[in-house]
Amino acid sequence: MRIVLLGPPGAGKGTLAGLIKDSLDIEHISTGDIFRDEMKHHTALGAEMKKYVERGELVPDEVVTKIVENKLKNPIFEKGYMLDGFPRTSKQAKDLDEILNRMSTPIDFALYMEADLELIVQRLTGRRVCRKCGAVYHVQNRPAKVEGVCDVCGGELYQRADDNEETIRKRMEVYYQSTTPIVEYYRSQNKLRQVDGNKDSAELCKDVLKMLDEKQRHKN
Ligand code: AMP
């Protein structure tokens, strides 16, 4: 199954992907994680991307699309994947369709998660991420057992540089301007499936698995 996860920052795309990837036996590809990894390792790409990511602006379409295209050639993605944070503009969505049409592996569903703005800001300002394994926590909603330490691998938890109120505001503006048109793009292809991103992640995960199961059964 090939799924695009759509929704504003803080809707819970990454958390959901982490919860359902094993159940669906598919991979999780997050373009934001790819950039943060490049930045962490001080690569040339990371240095180039840093100014966009830290300001909450979008990395140029051609750069991010090329990265995704190269990644999708890896055979580990043949079993299916969830794209998280890509596409983010109409151009990226159209280019992705072209790439996947050439590979004869079109997207099956676009899962659209909406959440209230207040909740988004609360989620993002309290979000903490493990430097080592990328596990995601929240200081109130999902605290680590030991403050500042990852439950999974013992790595250090940190706050993303772009999870501050000013940059969050910018990211939301960018989302509404550049990314929301994609919702209509997938709706017009009859691939859009909407879920409630206000729900807590365990409940949402159950809803999504049930919905995907029903859709798959109707397809077969
Ligand atoms: P995310 O982790 O998805 O919130 O992404 C963090 C940041 O990475 C974004 O604010 C952008 O600066 C950059 N980024 C991630 N995915 C894309 C994309 N598809 N197009 C452009 N920029 C992106």
Specify whether 160 is catalytic: yes
The mean per-residue pLDDT over the stretch 24-36 comes to 95
Q: Looking at residue 76, what DSSP letter applies?
A: G
Which pair of structure tokens corresponds to residue 169? Answer: 């505001």
Alpha-carbon span 83 to 27, nearest angstrom: 9
Could you read off the pLDDT of 134-180 as tens digits, one per residue?
888 999 999 999 999 999 999 999 999 999 989 999 999 999 999 99
- Confidence band (pLDDT; 50, 70, 90) for 120? very high
For helices 61-72 and 90-102, angle between their N-to-C axes, nearest 10 degrees: 30
Q: Ligand 1 pocket, 53 CB below 6 A?
A: yes
Ligand 1 centre to CA of 129 (Å) is 16
- Residue written as token pair 């001080």: 42
Inform me whether the pLDDT recorded for 68 exceeds 90.
yes
Ligand 1 centre to CA of 53 (Å) is 7
The mean per-residue pLDDT over the stretch 118-133 comes to 93
Could you read off the pLDDT of 170-191 as tens digits, one per residue?
999 999 999 999 999 999 999 9
The answer to whether 155 and 130 are in contact (CB under 8 A) is: yes
- Residues linked to residue 110 through DSSP beta bridges, in sequence order: 4, 192
- Confidence band (pLDDT; 50, 70, 90) for 220? low
Could you read off the pLDDT of 76-114 as tens digits, one per residue?
999 999 999 999 999 999 999 999 999 999 999 999 999
User: 66: which residues sit within 8 A by CB, 6+ positions away?
Assistant: none
Q: What pTM was computed for the model? A: 0.92
**Amino acid 218: pLDDT:** 64
Which pair of structure tokens corresponds to residue 159? Answer: 């706050």
Ligand 1 centre to CA of 170 (Å) is 12
Listed in order, strand segments (DSSP E) in the chain are 2-6, 27-30, 81-84, 109-114, 127-130, 136-138, 157-158, 192-196
- Catalytic site residue from 36, 123, 128, 171: 171
Strands 157-158 and 127-130: antiparallel
